[in-house]
Amino acid sequence: MSALQQIRSVLELVAAAALLGALFDVYNTVTGASKVLRFFRPVADLAFWLVAAVLVFFVLFSTDDGRLRLYTFPLLVIGYLLYRSWFHRRVVRSAFVVVRIVQAVLRFFWRIIYRLLIWPLQEAMLAVRFILRLVYRILCKAEDGVFWVMSFWWKVAFFPFRRWTKPVQEFRGKLYSEWEGILGQVSKWLIRTSKHT
């Protein structure tokens, strides 16, 4: 290997280490700014270090046919230390600015989507729920009125024959209780549905 090739190899290893340091700072800043990304952090860390290993191997392969020499790791450490002393703060600040800009853009689009789609749907669901409850209450009142009228005229019409109409009265009572049970189940279902919405 000529002297020029050795100098090129040294510079590429130092640059690769500095690039890895910058990539790690950007990655660390981006993943730390989101709860969702923090949840996937262990998998993301593994993927990052695999990519870093591939990058280092690629640099070694392109400069010295992939052979590890005694000066390889010291040069990587020197490159990383140079990056930390000269560029670390600038890269982190820039990454924070980019993250804040992206977050602001996402919040802006989320507000537009919420106002145009989600909020109208929520209001429509509330209106439908209110109408259903109102209709249900009206039907309950109407049902009570109908049964009261039927019961009143039943008593008036069959008062002289109340002894012979006892089985019919029992059947009417069972029918009324069954109807009340069905309406009770429907009302419970409507209440559960309205709570979930």
Q: What is the per-residue pLDDT for 105?
A: 92
Rounded CA Rg of the chain? 38
How far, in Å, are 9, 62, 65, 195 from residue 6 at the CA level? 5, 12, 13, 72
User: What's the average model confidence in pLDDT over 130-144?
Assistant: 87
Q: What is the per-residue pLDDT for 66?
A: 58
In sequence order, which ranges of the chain are alpha helices (DSSP H)? Answer: 3-32, 35-39, 41-64, 72-86, 88-113, 119-158, 166-196
Name the band, by pLDDT with cuts 50, 70 and 90, for residue 69. low
Q: What is the per-residue pLDDT for 111?
A: 92
147 vs 109, higher pLDDT: 109
* DSSP string computed for 6-27: HHHHHHHHHHHHHHHHHHHHHH
151-175 pLDDT, tens per residue? 777 666 655 555 555 565 666 666 6
How far separated are the first and last CA of the chain, in Å rounded?
Answer: 73
User: What's the average model confidence in pLDDT over 88-106?
Assistant: 88
Structure tokens at 13: 């290893």
Residues 6+ apart with CB under 8 A from 62: 12
Phi, psi at residue 181, to the nearest 5°? -65, -40
Q: Is residue 68 scored above 70 in pLDDT? A: no
Q: What is the per-residue pLDDT for 7?
A: 77
Residues 6+ apart with CB under 8 A from 33: 99, 103
Name the band, by pLDDT with cuts 50, 70 and 90, for residue 141. confident
Residues of the chain above pLDDT 70, percent: 73
Query: How many helices and strands in the chain, by DSSP H and E?
Result: 7, 0
Name the band, by pLDDT with cuts 50, 70 and 90, for residue 17. confident
Let me know how long the chain is. Answer: 197
pTM reported for the whole predicted model: 0.54
111 vs 196, higher pLDDT: 111
When the pLDDT of each residue in the chain is averaged and rounded to a whole number, the result is 79
**Least reliable range by pLDDT among 57-61, 108-112, 141-145, 192-196:** 192-196
DSSP 117: I
Residues 6+ apart with CB under 8 A from 27: 44, 48
20-45 pLDDT, tens per residue? 889 888 888 888 877 777 788 888 88
Listed by start position, the domains of the chain span: 3-86, 120-196
